[in-house]
A and B are shown apart, each in its own frame.
Chain A
Amino acid sequence: MSLKYYFVISTFLLSAISPLYASDKNGEKLYSTHCSACHGANGHGGVGVPLALPDFQYGVTNDYLEKSIRLGRPGRIMPAFTNLADDEVKAIIKHIRTWAPGRPFKYSNKTINGNIKNGATLYARKCAACHGANGEGGKGTGVTFSRPRNLPIIAPALNNPGFLASAPDMMIKTVLMNGREGTPMLSYLKQGLSEQDIDDVVTYVRSFENQEPVNAQPEKEVTPLISFESPNSLEETVANIKKAVEGKNFRIIRQQYLNEGLVEAGKENKKQVIIYFCNFSFLYRALAIDPRVGLFLPCRITAIEENGKVTVTSTNPLYMSRFFNNKNLDRLCEEMHEVYAEIVEEASF
């Protein structure tokens, strides 16, 4: 079969299956499925930013929203929704727009060429406190139980490639000039900057595009498990796990059999043991970074005896961390990975 024939059939197959994904165009339902967990049922925010803020609604274009959905914010929780069809993205945006009827601003694609040196100085003085010295944004996730509720939003990461690709210069300029009501973002015209100063800041923010991208490092191969074989008996291995856990300042919460609670009491498989443990200070730190970290909880090591061999295994926090698209959480998971690896290794001596 020629390559051309192969291409035609492939294209036909693609067009044949696409209606499967375009069949549900209900923006409200799509929003509920894909967005509401983070942004709130009515766009009032939560883990994600409050999309319903009138100032936000009037200040961003549909193109900005579309690109934000498509590209996400690498390393800043908002995932890239590459699996949604174009009409599904449009339906979601249409639904989001119902919260603040009216016409959003229209921006020209004009590139602003200000004085980058002055922009850098002004940025350091006026913006860095909230948006970070290098535009990395505020820490945390937004309005959640893990932080005070007096702030509706965490300062966005202006150096994020998803943001920079979505926001035209004129949009950044408008936000700087007018501020964003309902958030800590002030009008810098009212704060004494001239329009030229603001152009200089925009030029500096745009220069973040030249920084090393967030995900520039090639992804390392990460396995889902950390596993070691123990030379000791199951009982000795379990005792070693507990000792190693306590040695790392973690508290043993519970020891149980793997199928406990699922089988009749007394009929559990006694050769599959789970040790649950926690360090609440560490946990509190993790929850402040991302309240969804319950998926890691509680910390756990499993010891299993099979055919006379004892294996000590744990989940790999680095593997799970990737699910969250949260750079700050990645750092914490590296710490946790070290702890797990050391416990598993110590318990297997």
Chain B
Amino acid sequence: MKYNTMTRILISACLFLLVASSHAENLLMARTKQTFPEAMSVLQETIHSMGYKVSRVQRIDIGLTSSGFATDKYRVVFFSTEKDMHFISKNYPHLIPYMPWKISIFAEEQDTLLVTANPMSFSNQKYPGADKFLSKLKADVEKILDILRNSE
């Protein structure tokens, strides 16, 4: 087989793998049957177990309530690693406003919902090198959500 033929086959393979792996979901979501405090605790433990650090928890519900609005429990959990923040700052500053990464967590009656963006939605042709970072983050976030989804 000529070199050109091999190249075309490889390009075809890459194209199809790309199409097949391009999930349209820009939001990654999970529902857990755990109550909000339990889910919040599992979320933070899971984030730690994946090698990340929770840098802050924003209590959205507290701000709303103190301003006179009725709401159920609602938090935003920020997490990352020192290494990742340094790496992003140095190499891909266009991602800084989206870091540390965040997962929204809120109560829906007895269940708890978790929502985060799909990191690959920030993939940019100008910075192909960032895809490796975003792809790992996506895999980790999906794993975190999966653990929450399956926790009783």
Contact = CB atoms under 8 A, between A and B. Distances in A.
Contact of B76 (A20, A47, A146, A298): A298
Contact of B82 (A10, A262, A272): A262
Which size class do A's interface residues fall under? 35 or more
Given A36-B31, A291-B108, A298-B58, 13 more contacts: A14-B20, A40-B111, A79-B25, A80-B24, A83-B22, A225-B94, A258-B85, A261-B54, A280-B67, A291-B113, A295-B116, A297-B76, A315-B97
A38 B8 CA distance: 42
A336 B119 CA distance: 22
Which size class do B's interface residues fall under? 35 or more
B29 A82 contact: no
A239 interface: no
Interface in B79-124: 80-82, 85-86, 89, 93-94, 96-100, 102, 104-109, 111, 113-118, 121-122, 124
A17 B94 CA distance: 34
A314 B102 contact: no
A280 B63 contact: yes
B31 A145 contact: no
A294 B97 contact: no
A280 B13 CA distance: 50
B132 interface: no
B49 interface: no
Interface of B: 4-5, 8-9, 12-13, 16-17, 20, 22-27, 29-31, 33, 53-56, 58, 60, 63-64, 67, 69, 71-72, 74, 76, 78, 80-82, 85-86, 89, 93-94, 96-100, 102, 104-109, 111, 113-118, 121-122, 124, 149
A33 B24 contact: no
A9 B12 contact: yes
A33 B149 contact: yes
Interface in A272-319: 272, 276, 278, 280-281, 283-284, 287, 291-292, 294-295, 297-298, 300, 302, 304, 306, 313-315
B96 A302 contact: yes
Contacts of A37: 29-31, 113-115
A284 B69 contact: yes
A308 B91 CA distance: 17
Contact of B27 (A18, A21, A281, A292): A292
